Amino acid sequence: MKKRSADRKYAFPYLIDETQEIAKTYGATHTTTVFVIQRQGNDLVIKYIGAIDNNAQDAAQSSQNYVQSAVGALMADQPVAVPIAKAIGCGIKRKKA
């Protein structure tokens, strides 16, 4: 992931949840599940959770990018129109304690 991030010049933070604590805490059930989080005072508030877009097979064929829309709305100080979208992908297999 570090190489991919550097190669693609990601300008945003990402998380690898090796212990699965974040997935458990926030209720992620599938990969990829995206969380768009906004700071409000001292709190972090989830403003969007779900799929990246509405086409899990081919992003180029998607007609709605949920993450882009959510981030755009927040940057414009507007509410997120679609705060939840079903994450479609492989189910997260929980590690046994």
Task: Examine residue 9 and state whether it is found in any structural domain, yes or no.
Answer: no
Task: Examine residue 96 and state whether it is found in any structural domain, yes or no.
Answer: no
Domains of the chain: total: 1
Residue 90 pLDDT > 80? yes
Task: Examine residue 10 and state whether it is found in any structural domain, yes or no.
Answer: no
Give me the mean pLDDT over the 3-11 stretch. Answer: 86
Task: Examine residue 19 and state whether it is found in any structural domain, yes or no.
Answer: no
Task: Examine residue 17 and state whether it is found in any structural domain, yes or no.
Answer: no
Q: What is the pTM of this model?
A: 0.78
Q: Residue 79 sits in which domain range?
A: 25-91
- Give which of 88, 13, 12, 95 is closest to 52, Cα–Cα: 88
Task: Examine residue 97 and state whether it is found in any structural domain, yes or no.
Answer: no
- Give which of 88, 87, 48 is closest to 68, Cα–Cα: 48
Give me the mean pLDDT over the 11-39 stretch. Answer: 88
* Angle (nearest 5°) at CA 83 between 12 and 31: 60
Report pLDDT digits (tens) over 47-73.
Answer: 999 999 998 888 788 899 999 999 999
Percent helix, strand, coil in the chain (nearest 5)?
A: 25, 25, 50
Task: Examine residue 5 and state whether it is found in any structural domain, yes or no.
Answer: no
